[in-house]
Each structure stands twice: as C-alpha cells, then as structure tokens.
Structure 1
Amino acid sequence: MASLDSFSCKRTLTAAGETYAYYDLKVAEANGLAGVSRLPGSLKVLLENLLRFEDGKTVTKADIEAMAEWLTTRKSTHEIAYRPARVVMQDFTGVPAVVDLAAMRDAATKLGADPDRINPQVPVDLVIDHSVMVDNFGQADSFAKNVEREYQRNGERYKFLKWGAKAFDNFRVVPPGTGIIHQVNLENLAQAVWTKDENGETIAYPDTCVGTDSHTTMINGLAVLGWGVGGIEAEAAMLGQPVSMLIPEVIGFELTGKLPEGATATDLVLKVVEMLRAKGVVGKFVEFYGTGLDHLSLEDEATIANMAPEYGATCGFFPVDNETLAYLTATGRDDKRVALVEAYSKAQGMFRPDYDADPVFTDTLHLDMSEVVPAVSGPKRPQDWIELSNASAGFARIMESEYGKGDELDKSAPVEGEDYDFTNGNVAIAAITSCTNTSNPSVMLGAGLLARNAVAKGLKTKPWVKTSLAPGSQVVTDYLLRAGLNDDLDALGFDLVGYGCTTCIGNSGPLPPAISKTINENDLVATSVLSGNRNFEGRISPDVRANYLASPPLVVAYALAGSMKVNLATDPLGQDQDGNDVYLKDIWPTSAEIAEVVRTSVTPDMFAKRYANVFKGDDAWGGIEVSGGLTYAWDHTSTYVQNPPYFEGMTMEPESPGDVVNAKIMGLFGDSITTDHISPAGSIKADSPAGRYLQERQVPVLEFNSYGSRRGNHEVMMRGTFANIRIKNKMLDGVEGGYTLKDGKQVDIFDACMEHQSEGTPLVVFGGKEYGTGSSRDWAAKGTRLLGVKAVIAESFERIHRSNLIGMGVLPLQFEDGASWEALGMTGDETVTILGIEALEPRAVMTVSITFPDGTVKTAPARARIDTENELEYFRHGGILHYVLRNLAAS
C-alpha cells in the first residue's frame, strides 16, 4: 500500500460494527484535488487506486493530480500505473499463463535466482470452463457423457493445473463443471468492495480485477472495475507489476425509459453494441447512467457490461446502487460485506444516484429503452444488428453480398439416411450458451416458458438442428428445475450438455456426420443461432458459415423454425395438433409471466448451496493425483503441456531489439482481422501443420481436441497461428485459410515462416482497420512472435492485441495520414525496412520503407503504438515476462 499520502486523506469508516481504513476521495478533494467528486465513477476507482498506492516512484503526486486535471480536458495523455485487486483466468488462457509461470521458475533457477520468488502477489482464481465440448446433445445423459469425454481429453491439462494450485501461493482453481468464469465471478468471487489486513488494520477499497478473458468486463455490472488483458499482461499483474495505461476517455451512455413488452436484455445489448461500435469507443471506458437504470436488474446490467469487447470499449461500468446491494444479498454474500459495500460507496460518492445528476464525461450518447425491438446480430460480427422482422430478408441479401450465392437461396440436397433435405439458410446449431445470457434468469426462464408453450402446442424442433443448453452456473439448473421448465426444454432437445463456455468459444462439437457431409459436398450455407457474444467467421463450427447472436427465447424459436429464411415476425413456426399455424407471438411469454417465475424460482439458498464448496469439484477432479515441487516436472512426450522457448539463452542484460531490415511480408490482411483469425480456438484440421504434428506423435484425429485446449503446447500453437479456415491472406487471390507465398508458391504459413527463420530473414505483417479485435488471446501475439514476425503494420489496432504484441516484443505500427498497404499498391512481393527502433520513443512516428520488385521504393509514415514508457521498457526487454524475470532475478 501507499508509503505516501500527499493529500492526507486516509480515514476510517464503520460498517456493521467493523472499522476499516480507507482513502477518502471527499477529503482528497478538499485537500487539493478540486472537483474530483464530479469524476465518472470508473475514474473515481482509478483515483482511489492511485491514492492508495502512492509511493513517489510508480505512483507520484503528479499522477494523482492528473486525475483532477482530466475534468478540464476530459481526455488525457498522462500515463498511470494501476494495480487491480485480483486476477481471474479461464483454462484456455489460464493454462498457458501457468505454463509461463512454471517456465519462469525454471529460468529463474538458471539465472541463479530463487524460483519461489515466482508467485502471484495478488489473489488469482482460475475457473476451468472452456474445455467441455458438445459431443453429445439432445439426450438425458448428454451432460454425463460430455463430462466423461472432457476428462478423457484434458487429463494432462487438469493434472498440470492442479499442480499449479498446489505449487503457487495466492492461486486457486475452480474445477470443471462449476460454471462459466464470468458467471462464477459475478455470483460468488466478486465482492464489490475488497478488504486486506495490513499492518494491524483492515483496509477497504474497490473490488477491481483484470482477467485473461475479454469478457471479464461482465463484472462491471456489479460495479467492479474489470477488463480483459492478455495472459502475458495478467501474468505481470499477478507478479506485482502495475498495469500501465493512459487515463482513459469516458463515454457516458444515458439510458432512459424501460424495455417494451416482448424485448429482452439481449435485444437491448445488441442495440447498445451497434450504437457504440458506430460511435467508436476503442480504448475508452463507457459508463452507464440515467433513470433507465431503475428499470434494469443487475443481471441485465451484467449482460450489457459483458459485451464491452463487442462494442470495443475497455469496459462498460455501472455504479453501485440499491440493486447492487439486493443482488449481493440474493446471491449469498455475507451481510457484513453488503453493509460495507453500502457504507463505503456512499462515503466515496460512488453510490447512485449521488453522482448521477452531474457527472463529467468526455462525450455522451442516449438510448430510450422503450424503442428497443427484438433483434439478432450477424452473420459474422456482433455489431451487425438486424431487427428480427428483417432477419430473413437480411439472410437473402448476405447470400449474395457475402457468399456470392444470390441465385442459390433455395438450393438444397438430401441428407443420407434421413427423410429430409438440407437447404441453404437451415439452422444447423441452436445453442443456449455463453456467459452473456445464461447469467440472466429473465432470459433463461423466458426461454423455458417459451419452450413450455411450444410443447403445449405440439411444436417440435426441426430434425437437422443441433440443440444444446450450457448454463453459466449450476444455479441455472436449480431454478429451471424449481420452475418446472427443464422438462419442456428437454422435450425440444435443449438438454443440459455442460456447465461451461461451449458454442460461443467454438466448442460446439461436430455436426451429425450425414449433415456435415451434405453441407460440405454441396457447398451449402448453414447457419447457427446462439445466445452468445461472438459470431466471427470460422469460430462456431467449420461447417457453419453464417452465425447469429440472439436471446435464449429466440434460440428456441429458431430451433422450431429450422431456418433463417423463416420470418419469425410473420411466418408460422409450425402447426399445432389440429393443423393450425402457430406463430411466435402465440407462444411468447409476457414480461409479467417471466417476472413472476423469476420471483418464485430464484432464491438465495441456491447460491449458498452451490458455492459452499466451489473449489472442491466432483469425484473425477478429486481423483487426479499430482506430485508437489517448486518447479514442474515437464513430460517431453506430452502434446498438451510443454516448456516454451521464450527464455532460451536469456541473459541478465537485454539485447537491443534492433532495426527491421529487408523483411519479407508474411501476410497482407484486410479490416477486422480478429484474434480468432490469428489464433483459432476451435477444431484442428487433419491436413494442417498442427494436425500433421499431432499425427506424427500418434495422436488420432478423434483425439485432436481443439487449439484452445492445447494452448499449453507452443508447438501446436505456432502451427495454428494464422490458421483460421476463413482467414484471407490477400497475397493470394481469393484463397481462404492459413497460406502465404514463398518463392512464388502457395504454402502453409507455418512452413514458410520456418524457412524464413532458417534463412535468417525477418518477417512483417500488414493489416487494415481494427486489427486484433475479439478475445484477449495471448497466443495471437505469442504465435506471431514465434513465427519470426518483428512488426505488425495496420491502420488501427484493438486495445488488448496491441498490448499483447508489445508484451511479446513485437512492434505494432499504425499507418498515419490515411496510408494503407492497399493504397501503396502492395502485393506481398516487396521487402520492408523500419529504422530507428533502437532509439524508439512512445508514440513516435517512424518511416516504413517498402522496396518493390522493380526497385521502386515507397515510404509511409507509421506511429509506433507503444503508448507508454512502461510498454517501451517491456519491448526493449523482448517482452513483459523477460522484464519481470530480470527484475526478480536482480533483486
């Protein structure tokens, strides 16, 4: 904690008979920080953090004063060092983080340092939720079979994580089958106000976190400031390094009115995503305020906060209010904690509506929630909002614009062994999945009520639809059972398949073989409808091209309709027992019906019971035996966990990063290249470099698992970098997949990069706008580095990926003055030189020199997107982990 207190603001408060020390913002305002009571709530959290950690070195008085100066400019170029209270991780991104920590212990030993110094310095919770796949569905035993298969696939990884929980201090693991990380965080781990015993007193401060999943932002619905960072950045935070950041702009989003009959929280968030993407909020905080908050449940707010990565913001923050206190109580938090949250928030001016009347924002926008209508988003971006009544016409349009198949809208083909055809636009996957919506009882119970009404009418799911229900926590099962709605969902094929992030992360599992064969042999455009937050190309299923986000009730409705060409607003879903047409309006539950079943079915005892032994796990978890030790006993035959090469040959003094001279171009990419394009999480193709690597090690194709599950093995992940089946390297004409040109020939990107490395040739990558959107996937940066890429030059970067590239020692450069690789007339045959890297300063404008095959040289200005001195220090060390390791070894 702080060794200085320049504004003499350390005070005490009492709540429920307990006394706490805290850093009083109102006193700090009176002692020199004029006006800070008008800061947005999210910036008040940052200000408190700086006051508490003021040490004259990492946090200075000038840093704190810059928070007050923000009120005048409403934006800032001032860099601050922010220290979150805790870190949360899921297993896809958590496994490589723990692998890196284990590798750092080995490296520390080689450098002559104590390996026990490599320990989390703040609490870390890892929730295993990304490894369950929907192999089995539509049957009563689907859950049991999927869990059994999960342990078969992931035994090596789970053994490694269990070792980590034993070997590292401050590190806990929530076992498989408990729930999705963000819902577990919301329902149990988060406290809204955190406490720590230090020097004989208990200090109270805002609960804050960073997480290795981009949807960590969900916790902002509970007034916990949190956002996603790459595993690299998270590891540094765990090891006591501050998160280096500029004081952000804060966009105020005023909500008024209330949702109309028939609209859901999902419909609201899809509209918010569309509005904020159009506004442009990348790298900014968004803060919600206004009278509309009075008509939203905390779960509704968490739904909106969850999708901050989709609207591009660092976070979407909601203040503490009476709904926050009610939710903490309803989910079984300790009464004293709830009392502290209320007392602390009111004392700090963080309790709505205390600051709601007169906040200062960089800019604002407004939405009257009464104007929200049912909607979906697709076919490949969360911001592609479509009013439900226009969704079928929208699909017809994208058949021409996206797939060039406008004249094949009604093309179909028979499915072998079945009595039906599969047609363009058919829904192949209907999944109630993802943290976004499965945390919200109103939409989950709404889906159950719609299922009940559909079953009563005699409606059935179309036979070609793969249905699944993957709740975010076991509590969802409890309240569906109490409401008596589970049987109705089961009757339509929405049987429980697992507690975890399934379809949304690409763990949808295989389609039935006959349907997959029909789709691929006839080049049909299959669709999916999921209640998730991500619908990027190639993410949901390799067999499905068009993916749509929708509320859980609409997922059920589309399973009944069976096709995106059905207009749910006007076309029948099917016929009842008497042959009468049944429309969506006939089975849609009213808001009053949903509210009543929520009131009677969701109770505090459910949360208390389910989370009483949250770290214990089932018998399968208990049966995993591990041996202790400070360092990990690496199994060199493992195809899941390997010691990464980042620290090979590392010395105490860093080498200069050096200039990039005569680099070859590995890829030319367009706009909106996602981290999923760069490092896919889903299935591994047998004929891909990663597939060949696994087969060479006697891993059968059926046991490939996914890229996400193998993130602990750099050999697999290097081969999977830029290997998304839908990525388009524009060095090649119209080709999809992970290919590039080497000596004029089309080859796999991995193979080309290894040849370039053996020849000593540096590589660069060019991109368009919004390079690196999507998940906080550290392997998108790690793989880029290991392939030998020295710099990525793009028109703009998404926040997390930019930071991750720096964290791996890769230089991100952003074109200036409207330049682009396309405007320069590049084809990929050029060579690239970037000088002045050794003398680099934050945000310096550099010159990218491009030599064409005929000897012509063109130059373009590009700004180094190394934004802060801390980031520059990481880059000079070759990455953030190298910087931390050297500092620990030196001390």
Structure 2
Amino acid sequence: MPAKNPFNKFLKSLTIDGEEYKYYDISQLGCNYDRLPYSIRVLLESAVRNCDNFQIKEQDVENILNWEANRSYEGAIEIPFKPSRVILQDFTGVPAVVDFAAMRDAVKTLGGNPNKINPICPVDLVIDHSIQVDFARSPDALRKNEDMEFERNRERFTFLKWGAKAFDNMLIIPPGSGIIHQVNLEYLARVVFTDKDTSILYPDTVVGTDSHTTMINGLGILGWGVGGIESEAVMLGQSISMLLPQVVGYRLYGKMNEYVTSTDLVLTITKNLRQLGVVGKFVEFYGPGVTALSIADRATIANMCPEYGATVGFFPVDSNSIAYLRQTNRSEKQIKIIEEYLKATKQLRNYSSELPEPVFSQNVGLDLATVVSSVSGPKRPNDRVSVSNMKEDFLNCLTNKIGFKGFGIPQTQLNTVAKFMYDGRQYQLRHGSVIIAAITSCTNTSNPSVMLGAGLLAKNAIAAGLSVLPYIKTSLSPGSGIVTYYLRESGVIPPLEQLGFNIVGYGCMTCIGNSGGIDENIVCAIEENDLICCGVLSGNRNFEGRIHPNTRANYLASPLLVIAYAIAGRVDIDFQTEPLGEKKDGSPIFLRDIWPTRKEIQAVEQQYVIPAMFKEVYEKIESGSPKWQQLKAPIGQLYPWSKLSTYIKKPPYFDGMTKDVTAARPLVDARVLLMLGDSVTTDHISPAGSIGRTSPAARYLAQRGLTPKEFNSYGSRRGNDDVMARGTFANIRLVNKFLNKAGPRTLYLPTNEEMDIFDCAQRYKANETPILIIAGKDYGSGSSRDWAAKGPFLLGVKAVIAESFERIHRSNLVGMGIIPLQFLPGQGAETIGLTGKELFTVNLPFDIEYGQHIKVNTDSGKEFEVILRFDSEEDLLFYRHGGILNYMIRKMLN
C-alpha cells in the first residue's frame, strides 16, 4: 500500500468475482460527504489517495471535504489535483513530444540521466487534427484526403512513432481512427482505474491538451483541457494546482419536443451559462431531465463547456452510463468493477433515490420544453439564434456596426450580386450565400441521434427531389468508424452522398479550420464584391478567420440543419414560410415536410447502434492503416534532430540553461508590441489554419525550398519553433488598435514604421527592448493552445496586461515565464488613458507574492496598479525557474 499516506486507515477491501481489490472509502471521511457535489467527490478521492504531505497535504483534503463551508471563499483556497491520465491530439501532441525530446537532451547536457524524462501517468495521443478537406463531393474523397495527409505529414507521423517507442506509458492512436474526444468516449475511457501494483480502485480522471476534453464529463469522468505545457508537467508526475471551484447546479426538467435536437439544447445552454457567468466554475447537471438524455446527448453538452466558459460540465455516472458502457462493448468484468466501486464510495448517481440533493454554490435550471431549433453565430458559439429568427438576425448583422454581431455593410451594398463560373455554368453569390456546409466535429458526430437524423433528412430530401448547388463545399467527417458503420447499415449513406455529403476523412477537419480550399472563381467573386458569405457546420467553434478566410459569417448548427441550409444555399431563409424547392406538380416543399421526428430517429438508432460494431471497429484501431504500419521510425532514447526539417526542430527553450534559478527583475522601458481589444482568442494569437502566402512563415518556408502547395498548416508545423514564432499573431482577422485595418501587422514605435509583427518583434529583440501586449477582456479565450504562449515567448514578450484572462491561457503564459497582469476591476487601457505608445516600467518586486498588486509607470507620467495574476505558490515557483519545463528539468536533476 502507498507509504506514508495518513489516510491508509480508510483503505477497504472489495471482492468482485473472487478477486480482491482495495479502495479508499471517502464516504467515511465525515458527515459533510453526502452533501458534496459529485464532481467535488472526485477531487476529494484524488487528494486522499495521493496524500503524501508533500505535494498533497492533509489540509488539502480537509479543504475539499469542507467544500460547503469553503465555497464562499471564491478564488481563495488553492488545492492540488493529480489526474489519472493525460490525453493529447497531434497538433498539441507533437510539440509535447518535441519538448520531452528536448528535455532529455537538456538533462543530458546538465549531467543527468535523460531516461528519467518519461511519462509517469498514462498518456494517449490520438492523431486526428492533420487531415484536411482537400477533396470533397466525390466517392474517392476519403482516399485522396488520407493520401494527402500522409504526404504532408509523413515526417510528423514518423516522429510520433519514434516517441511511442522511445517513451514509456504512451499510446498512439494512428491517423484515420477518429476524433480524439469521440475515441476517448467510445474506447479509451476507463471510468474506474485499477492500479496494477496495488489493486487499488480509483476514478478515471483526465486532462487533455484540447479544451474540448470536457466532452468526457458526459460519461461521468472528470476531465478538462489544460495547456500543453501544464499537461507535460502532469505527465512527469506533477499535480495540477487549482482553486477550489464553485459548483453551479444546473437542473434539467421537462421534455424536449419531437423536432428539436441535442445540438439545439447545447446551444441554448451555452448562451444561458455564458450570460450567467461560469468562468472558472464547475457546472454539474442534475434533475429529472438528465435521465432522458443519452450519454451521447450529455457528451454533446459537456463538449461545449469551453464555449460557456466553465471548467467542467459534469454528469455523474448513473444507470444510463452503465448501459452505454455495455453498448460500447466494454467488458462485463470492468462494468462490474465500475458499479461496485462507485456504489461503495457513493459516487454512483441514483436519480430515483430519496437521498437529499447535493448542495451547490448556485442553482439554475432549464425547462427542456422551451428549447427551440437553433444555430449560433455569426462569429461566436454563444450567440444563439432561433432558426425562426435567423433571416431577420442575419440581415441585422449585415448592417450592424462591425463587431460580434455586425459586419458594417452599407445599405447601398446590401443587394450586391456576384456572378461566377463553376464547372462550365454560371452561378450567383449574395450576402448570406452558403459556400461551406460541413457535418464535422465530435460535438455532434459522437451522437447517433443527430447523425442518423441527418441521414434520414437526406433520404427524405432526395425522395422529394431536392439537391445542393454543386459549388457549395459539402463534407462529412465522422468522429469514428462507428459512425460510418451505423450510417452504412441503416442505408442513409447513398442519399447523403447524393446531396454531396461524402465521407472526406476521420478527424476534426472543418471545425478546426482544415476546410481546405474553395474554387478560385468563388474566392474572386467574394473578395471583389466584399460579400459576407457563410459556412454552416456542426462544430463547436466559429471564431472569425477560423473556418475559412472567405466565410466571414459562420454558424454552428445540428447536422440536420447543416443539410437544410446547404439545400437552401443561403442562411437568410425563413424555413416556416419559404420552401426549399418544389415538387413535380409545382407544390412547395418545406423543411417541415422532410424533417424526421425524434421517434423515427430513435427507432433506427436502437436497431443499428449495437455493441458488435464497437467490437469490430475498435479491436484493430491501434494497428492503424497499411501506410501507418509501413512507416519506419528512428530507434533510440534521444531523437536524431535533422537541421533540414521544416516540421520537427529542437526548440531553443533550454539553450543556455543552468542548474541555478534566477531572480525576478523589473521590466524597464518596455514597448507595446500590440494594442488589442476584447475576446482575442488563441486562434488570433496562434492560428492553426493555412499559412498565408505573403506571411513571415511563408517567406521562411520558401527560403527552405518549399512551394505554397507544401506549406501545410500552422497546426501541422507546431514541432518547428521557427515557423510558429513567425506565425504568432498571424491571423488575418486580428485587430491591432495601432492600425486602422485588420491583419497581422503592427507599428515599430520608435520610428512609427508599419511592418509584420514578427519582424517588429525581431527588431525590438535586436535592440534588447522588452515588449508587452495590452488587451481587453477574455484574452486568450478559445482552444487550449500552448503555442499561444510559446509563440509570444519566442517573440520576446515579457508580460501581458489585460482586463481578464481565459483560465487555460493564463496558466500557459505562466508556464512559459510570461507575466500575466490584470487591470483593476472597471479599469482598462481606455479608462486609464493609455495609447500604447508609451514606455512602460513594471515594478516587479524581488520577493513577489501571488495575487499582489504592483505599480506600472509610463514615460508620460501615468501610474496605475495591476493585479499580478500568479494565482498560486506553484505559479511563482514556475516563474522563478523561467517556466514550468525548466522547473521540471531541475527537479529531475535533483
């Protein structure tokens, strides 16, 4: 048993089918336990099991156990948390493995044993972010896209295959298997772990380098996204430091009508909770409405958690969860262990029990009967619009001033029509024309009800004689082979293909901006006429510039509505009064005429979504395709870096590193690199999509002999710091207040010259001038993208002063040694009267404390206070070491 754990007295035995297991009976810790939210019980168990009075102290356990009394001290009580495992996708997984390889080199250089750098907890890496929609609307689109994926990414895949052999405790799921969160839900999730050495049972918990890791909350597994840097520390055995969270109880009740979907529900919840304000909080769902939701429905709601701002959107394990485990072909032995353990520790939710409900920090609710058919957009996932109001809302967006709900189109240009040729025929584009329609993203592809619903809608549409205009880029990217299996068996693939929704690949694809190119004639028509054309996707993110540079308006929608808007060819349609087409006799065909009911969908789901398909698909998932099997990777504990590689490069983070720690110093006469507004996302800071042909990154790649066709995406090149530093702040929709136009440009302030951001930063670095960024609210919102911190670090950014920070991004900044500074409440650059062109001195004291207020002075005579957003002792520790990875290296050496 674990030595020195003061809670060993709570270890109990559990015999299941003749085998003896141990577990910590946290239900016996005290009378407070029964009142704890189920999500807090998971945190409590982790603290009890890992208590060593070093990383995790007895007082930490007491703080969690007394959550009800402590919940009012928001932001005041810090607790440690050790997740059971880490999950990575390849965009973030490649740089993580690159960092591990570089850490081995650094340890060796400093005289240590490089083999000590190994994941301590299990790591699963799913390759799902590399495939793009280069080909669509053809029977061979899948094969061509997968061939292109390997052609572009062979070097990255070879590197990952080396990592799978070189590092212990790391599983690689090859490309073509599915989307990370769906594979996690259907296959990787354990729900309950069994320690192979001690036979101790404990809950499956996970952190991932993708913000939508929260999807696993739908199965009752506590998990959320962290920065790639923070995840690497967890992989090396470090606990996560977090603040004891408030838990919002979200009660679901009532019954959804026959024609709404889980997507409509989650868009409603997203808007509701974003307005309520749940950033940094846990949300735990309960109430009679929960029992009517399938695990796939719950996973859809949990997946969108980053969009409503919470840390988790948790559904405790209940009888529906157990039924899902059987449906997905988990072993009966494991299911029995899960049930018995969770019952013994009072972590199995029983909605029919007469036990009192847990106490929550706040209680809110939603009557499911009030949910209506919805989409969200045109620029944010929390801007829900009911489908019945969509036409009016879009028209208002056209004329509203530029913002989240506005494009600033003059009245005289509202009726602009652009003609273009496509495949030998002439077509027209207007504001609101759909040019991309994608059934994509694990948010919805993990849910058989909406996927089969889309198939049935397609079947009805084809029977009615409806079609999709040929120039619209339609695509279907299933989240796993399971989706293809049940779509094929239920007979809906042919009608989907007839509408142009051919399967194009197994990965995130359009949802992360891997939408591929669109016809040049369409691009010219849009750009020459300044048209607001649209993308409609069943994804979870629709920030400006993310989906495609030429779809300035993007709407999140259910797979059914993706098809509906594709058939309509435009988003400014009122489906109630405007038909999709006409029958042969001239009578109108309305959307309601072809829309399947929930009852019809459920009947097909019950018939075709069966355990046998999960067994068939997942028993061979780890072996991969023949292409993957034929890849030859280097062998050895240290990676043989190639100076010729434009994908994989040894990063400079540890160059010149010593065993000694340097003290914090004030920043004197710093310049502002960028003056930014609200809601600057990690997509703005470090885009994942295509590399612009005139960008600094493009120039670098061209100098290395690559053609634009070979540039690939920023996401695929995250293993090369030279590309990623040049790609920092490269989003074409970035708005820098120094300039009167959007784009990745800034001013070199000493001479007032306009230039690319990377070139400007290089000039400051050459002159040894420290640089800052000033921003508004929610700086770093969006994906948990470690390069959004690594990139600024490489540019020389020493601090970011913002009105508020997104949780994961603040942590990433700290992890790279960048100082997060927050304006006092009610203050910002504008209220203080800052132009950003001043020289700034940040008076960082020698003995810094987390959460303290410090003064900032400018050469113009202004002085203001900011909050030092180091939120814990660990944050200070990492900063003093120059970042979390430097700290981990020194820890290994000692």
TM-score range, shorter chain: over 0.9
> For residue 777 of structure 1, what is the aligned residue in structure 2?
785
Residue 740 of structure 2 corresponds to residue 733 of structure 1? yes
Q: Which amino acid aligns with 1:748?
A: D
- Offset at residue 627 of structure 1 (A): 1.9
> For residue 871 of structure 1, what is the aligned residue in structure 2?
875
Cα distance between partner residues in 2 of 1:387 and 1:181: 30
- Offset at residue 116 of structure 1 (A): 0.4
Cα distance between partner residues in 2 of 1:690 and 1:2: 52
Alignment check: 8 A CA contact 2:63 2:70 kept: no
Cα distance between partner residues in 1 of 2:661 and 2:138: 57
Cα distance between partner residues in 2 of 1:64 and 1:440: 37
> For residue 272 of structure 2, what is the aligned residue in structure 1?
275
Which structure 2 segments of 5+ residues have no match? 401-405
> For residue 842 of structure 1, what is the aligned residue in structure 2?
850
Alignment check: 8 A CA contact 2:258 2:599 kept: no
TM alignment of 1:543-582, pairs within 5 A: 543-582=550-589
Alignment check: 8 A CA contact 1:332 1:607 kept: yes
Match of 1:307 among 304, 311, 327: 304
- Offset at residue 7 of structure 1 (A): 7.3
> For residue 265 of structure 1, what is the aligned residue in structure 2?
262
Cα distance between partner residues in 2 of 1:715 and 1:357: 57
Alignment check: 8 A CA contact 1:731 1:741 kept: no
Q: Which amino acid aligns with 2:9?
A: S
> For residue 392 of structure 1, what is the aligned residue in structure 2?
391
Residue 830 of structure 2 corresponds to residue 822 of structure 1? yes
Q: Which amino acid aligns with 1:802?
A: R
TM alignment of 1:459-538, pairs within 5 A: 459-538=466-545
Cα distance between partner residues in 2 of 1:2 and 1:192: 25
Residue 114 of structure 2 corresponds to residue 115 of structure 1? yes
Task: Give secondary structure in 2 for the equivalent of 1:616.
Answer: coil
CA RMSD of aligned residues (A): 1.2
> For residue 448 of structure 2, what is the aligned residue in structure 1?
441
Cα distance between partner residues in 2 of 1:264 and 1:409: 33
Task: Give secondary structure in 2 for the equivalent of 1:663.
Answer: strand
- Offset at residue 791 of structure 1 (A): 0.6
> For residue 26 of structure 1, what is the aligned residue in structure 2?
27
Which structure 1 segments of 5+ residues have no match? none
Residue 765 of structure 2 corresponds to residue 766 of structure 1? no
Cα distance between partner residues in 1 of 2:16 and 2:573: 57
> For residue 817 of structure 2, what is the aligned residue in structure 1?
809
- Offset at residue 2 of structure 1 (A): 6.0
Match of 2:203 among 202, 206, 221: 206
Distance 1:600 1:738, change over 3 A: farther
Residue 69 of structure 2 corresponds to residue 72 of structure 1? yes
- Offset at residue 824 of structure 1 (A): 1.9
Cα distance between partner residues in 2 of 1:531 and 1:648: 44
Match of 1:432 among 422, 431, 439: 439
- Offset at residue 27 of structure 1 (A): 1.7
- Offset at residue 355 of structure 1 (A): 8.9
- CA offsets 1:118-159 (integer angstroms, 9 cap, x no match): 000011010000000000000000000000000000011000
- CA offsets 1:563-590 (integer angstroms, 9 cap, x no match): 0111223211122333321111000001
- Offset at residue 765 of structure 1 (A): 0.4
Residue 295 of structure 2 corresponds to residue 298 of structure 1? yes
Alignment check: 8 A CA contact 1:426 1:526 kept: yes
> For residue 626 of structure 2, what is the aligned residue in structure 1?
619
Task: Give secondary structure in 2 for the equivalent of 1:197.
Answer: coil
- Offset at residue 798 of structure 1 (A): 0.6
- CA offsets 1:565-623 (integer angstroms, 9 cap, x no match): 11223211122333321111000001110000000010101111111022110000011
> For residue 243 of structure 1, what is the aligned residue in structure 2?
240
Alignment check: 8 A CA contact 2:673 2:746 kept: no
Cα distance between partner residues in 2 of 1:759 and 1:52: 52
Cα distance between partner residues in 2 of 1:322 and 1:91: 34
TM alignment of 1:180-219, pairs within 5 A: 180-198=179-197, 201-219=198-216
Task: Give secondary structure in 1 for the equivalent of 2:622.
Answer: coil
- CA offsets 1:190-215 (integer angstroms, 9 cap, x no match): 011111122xx311000000001000
Bigger mean CA deviation after superposition, 74-83 or 482-491? 74-83
Cα distance between partner residues in 2 of 1:541 and 1:338: 43
TM alignment of 1:707-746, pairs within 5 A: 707-742=714-749, 743-746=751-754
Cα distance between partner residues in 1 of 2:89 and 2:166: 18
Cα distance between partner residues in 1 of 2:845 and 2:683: 29
Q: Which amino acid aligns with 1:303?
A: T
Bigger mean CA deviation after superposition, 716-725 or 406-415? 406-415
Bigger mean CA deviation after superposition, 346-355 or 762-771? 346-355
> For residue 861 of structure 2, what is the aligned residue in structure 1?
857
Distance 1:740 1:593, change over 3 A: farther
Task: Give secondary structure in 1 for the equivalent of 2:862.
Answer: strand
Residue 409 of structure 2 corresponds to residue 412 of structure 1? no
Residue 48 of structure 2 corresponds to residue 51 of structure 1? yes
Q: Which amino acid aligns with 1:410?
A: N
Distance 1:466 1:382, change over 3 A: same
Cα distance between partner residues in 2 of 1:755 and 1:584: 58
Q: Which amino acid aligns with 2:879?
A: F
Residue 695 of structure 2 corresponds to residue 695 of structure 1? no
> For residue 221 of structure 1, what is the aligned residue in structure 2?
218
Task: Give secondary structure in 1 for the equivalent of 2:408.
Answer: coil
> For residue 161 of structure 1, what is the aligned residue in structure 2?
160
- CA offsets 1:145-202 (integer angstroms, 9 cap, x no match): 000000000011000000000100001100000000000000000011111122xx31
- CA offsets 1:641-695 (integer angstroms, 9 cap, x no match): 1000000000001222311111000111111110001000001101011111111
Cα distance between partner residues in 1 of 2:394 and 2:206: 40
- Offset at residue 348 of structure 1 (A): 1.4
Alignment check: 8 A CA contact 2:774 2:836 kept: no
Cα distance between partner residues in 2 of 1:53 and 1:587: 56
Alignment check: 8 A CA contact 1:725 1:738 kept: no
TM alignment of 1:575-654, pairs within 5 A: 575-654=582-661
Cα distance between partner residues in 2 of 1:26 and 1:386: 44
Residue 890 of structure 2 corresponds to residue 886 of structure 1? yes
- Offset at residue 737 of structure 1 (A): 3.0
> For residue 87 of structure 1, what is the aligned residue in structure 2?
86
Cα distance between partner residues in 2 of 1:2 and 1:612: 38
- Offset at residue 356 of structure 1 (A): 7.2
- Offset at residue 406 of structure 1 (A): 4.4
Cα distance between partner residues in 2 of 1:837 and 1:457: 72
Q: Percent identity?
A: 52
Alignment check: 8 A CA contact 2:264 2:372 kept: yes
Q: Which amino acid aligns with 2:617?
A: R
Task: Give secondary structure in 2 for the equivalent of 1:803.
Answer: helix
Alignment check: 8 A CA contact 2:8 2:24 kept: no
Task: Give secondary structure in 1 for the equivalent of 2:829.
Answer: coil
Task: Give secondary structure in 2 for the equivalent of 1:251.
Answer: strand
Alignment check: 8 A CA contact 1:75 1:248 kept: no
- Offset at residue 261 of structure 1 (A): 1.5
- Offset at residue 442 of structure 1 (A): 0.1
Distance 1:719 1:285, change over 3 A: same
- Offset at residue 445 of structure 1 (A): 0.1
Alignment check: 8 A CA contact 2:678 2:775 kept: yes
Bigger mean CA deviation after superposition, 97-106 or 341-350? 341-350
Q: Which amino acid aligns with 1:714?
A: D
Bigger mean CA deviation after superposition, 740-749 or 475-484? 740-749
- CA offsets 1:358-393 (integer angstroms, 9 cap, x no match): 211111210011110000000111000101111111
Task: Give secondary structure in 2 for the equivalent of 1:493.
Answer: coil
Q: Which amino acid aligns with 1:389?
A: S
Task: Give secondary structure in 1 for the equivalent of 2:241.
Answer: strand
Q: Which amino acid aligns with 1:22?
A: Y
Residue 263 of structure 2 corresponds to residue 256 of structure 1? no
